[in-house]
Structure formats: structure tokens, C-alpha cells
Amino acid sequence: MEDWALIRRLVADGVPQRQVARDLGVGRSTVARALTSDRPPKYERPAGSTSFTPFEPAVTQLLAKTPDMPATVIAERVGWTGSISWFRDNVRRLRPEHAPVDPADRLTWLAGDVAQCDLWFPPADVPLEDGTTPLLPVLVMTCAYSRFVLARMIPTRHTQDLLLGMWDLLSQLGAVPRRLIWDNESGIGRGKRHAEGVAAFAGTLATTLQRLKPYDPESKGVVERRNGYFETSFLPGREFNSPADFNNQLSDWLTIANARVVRTIKAKPADLLAADKAAMLALPPVPPTVGWTNRVRLGRDYYVRIDSNDYSVDPSVIGRLVDVHADLCKVRICRNGRLVAAHDRVWARGMTITDAAHVATAKILRQQYQQPRPAPEPPGQESLVRDLAEYDHAFGLTEDLTAVTGGEVA
């Protein structure tokens, strides 16, 4: 290739072809071919027949009908008996020619229009109350125009916790984007229907919660790229002792991350946030109803269940209806507006949370219940127990006994 370029340069400078051939030590025919060729010389082996060649038409026919058919199935259908690795290599070469076309448009985001939401599952050990380290979700919300990111770890991916997390992040943002974009997360909805409570949440915020169609990750690519950014820039070298510690470290790091220049927009998200929020909706005057809520009749066990954990309640309201409410941090149980139990919410699963005061109250109530009670008198009948003074009066024995006994009372 170097000789080809040098020959063309020397001849272009006016050096005769015979002298170029003599100086470079090549034949004159080589110089002539270099001048007539418009591309560098390249060795190309002529295509020849291989063991796969007889099977290629049948493989192509199968791929045309079913582009995602596994190579092992194709080998069985066409009767291949040779090396499966060699067969896979050839199928891999042919498959892109028959794959369906799925073009991805370039999207433009307007100020205040969209916030993309997603769940990130960090591969980190975050210990819970029972010492386990399950894979906990982190709710991530990214404003598409400014690329401003908000995120926090939540206990579960149930609808109640997803709505609690969204309301917490929107409260931190101080405004509501006109659209909240989700993929087909089961806690948000599936098919054509939102999960229970999602429509009411969006209506209270006066926003549109849009769920993307399957196989459309590009429409949520802004937040998807942030998830990868977390794993490469936030997680390395960090240790966490609780979900609260994780959220504190993540919040501090996001302050730094939102002040960095984003390559695609050549600006800092913190600098564009004001313009983004100016085009958003204001927070509603009345907060949306979010969280775990339930009304149950308290049983003799005096515990109520939230998610998978049991929390104790004041036993004095056994048999009565109580209102249960839980957010990401607290659990509260009320009876007619009066607080009868308050606990910190536990993120571990299958645990029993007991207040010592509730156990003491239950012991007193149990002792009172076990004491014998006098049998009630039948209606319309007087008691058979009479005061002895009534008999003294009936027999005339009510005079002063001191006069009879000389002033001494026996």
C-alpha cells in the first residue's frame, strides 16, 4: 500500500514512470497498474464452496419466515451433521439480512414537558433490619429537557411505594412535569389499564402518566443512560449500612452530578433547571392520597399487616375498626382519628414489630377478663341479700342499747 501511494505521488510530481520503477525496484507494469487503480491493492481470496454452501438456501428460507429461530433448531431442520460452531457462525452472518427493521427516531424534548421514570436495581449490599441484603429498587426520575436527575431507594416495587416515591421526588423538584413517562412496570400498569390508584394520582397532579409500548426503550433512553451512569460513577468503592445511608449518599452525589456538564446538551442540568421548572405545572394545593391505606377490624391478636410485616396495635381497641396508613418511613394506626399505634416502617420481610406498651396493656386486659364475675340477677327479681338493720327495725330493736347495758356496748 505504501508503494502504491508513493508511485502515484512521484508520477504526479513529474517523475517518469521508468525512473519511478527503477528507484523503487518494481516493474514498470506494477507502476502502470498503480496509476490505473483508484484504490489501494488488497489481497482477496476468491469465494469458494464450503460445507455450509449446500445448506445455505434452506437456512435462508427458514430465516425469512422466522428470523429469531435458534441456530440449533435450524441445524435440525436442514439436517446439518457437521460442527455446530461453524454452523452458528454462518447463521449469525445471514440472520441480520432477514431481521425486521426497527428504526429509532431522534427525539426533541421541550422545557417542562417530560420527566422519564424508571427503576434501577443497584448491585450493592444494603443491609436491612434482619441482616439480609436483598436487591432493592431505586426510583429514578430525569427531567428530559434539563437532564436534572432525582432518585431515592424505596422498599418495594408495589404501586403504593412507587406512588410514594414519585410524590417525594416531585416534592423535592417543586413542580410537576406535564408528562411522566414509564415503561410497562407492573406497579404502574399493564396493557391498557393503569394500576389501582395511578389514575387518581395523575389526576390530582393534573399531569399525564404515559406508559410506553413494549420494545421501545429509545423513548426512555435519557433515564436509562442515567442508570448506567450510576453504576460506573456512584457505586464503585462505596459501602452502605442501611437504605437511609444509601439515600443520603446518593442525594449528596446527585448534587455534584447535576452540576456537571452533560455532553449531549453541552450544559449543566442545574443551570437549565430553572427554565425547565418554569414551564412545568405547580404542585397541587392538596397532596395526592398515596401510601398503604386500609381499614380493618382489629382481632384478638392486636396486629395489623402492611406489605409482609405485622405491627402491634393498642389492645384496648380490639374488635373495633382501625385505619391503617403507612408511608416510606412510618406506620400509623388510628381509631376515630385517635392514634393507637405508631411504628417505624421495617423494610425487611416477614417480621413482627411489637410495642412493649401494647404487650403490657394486653396483660392487664387479659387478667381483668380472667377474673370471676358475679352472676347477673334475673330481671324483675329482688336480690336475696338483705341488710341486717332491716330485721332490727322490723322486730323493734332500734332503741338505744347503751341505756340497757349501763352505757356500755358489748
Indicate whether 245 pLDDT > 60: yes
3-state secondary structure string across 165-216: HHHHHHHHHCCECCEEEECCCCCCEECCEECCCHHHHHHHHCCEEEECCCCC
Confidence of residue 410 (pLDDT cuts 50, 70, 90): very low
pLDDT of residue 213: 82
pLDDT digits (tens, 9 = 90+) for 109-144: 899 999 999 999 999 999 999 999 999 999 999 999
pLDDT of residue 241: 94
d(CA 333, CA 298): 11
* Residue, of 138 and 24, whose pLDDT is higher: 138
Indicate whether 396 pLDDT > 70: no
* Residue, of 383 and 155, whose pLDDT is higher: 155
Q: How many CA atoms lie within 13 A of 151 on its CB side?
A: 34
Residues 6+ apart with CB under 8 A from 359: 312
146-160, 203-217, 227-241, 254-268: least confident range: 203-217
The mean pLDDT value for 234-260 works out to 95
C-alpha dist (Å) from residue 258 to 164, 181, 244:
23, 20, 21
Indicate whether 282 pLDDT > 50: yes
In the chain, what's the furthest Cα-to-Cα distance?
171
Indicate whether 402 pLDDT > 50: no
pLDDT digits (tens, 9 = 90+) for 345-392: 999 999 999 999 999 999 999 999 888 777 666 666 555 566 667 766
The mean pLDDT value for 312-337 works out to 95
pTM for the whole structure: 0.72
pLDDT digits (tens, 9 = 90+) for 167-214: 999 999 999 999 999 988 899 998 888 999 999 999 999 999 999 887
Confidence of residue 401 (pLDDT cuts 50, 70, 90): very low
Cell 338505744 -> residue: 400
**Domain 114-278, second-level architecture:** 2-Layer Sandwich (3.30)
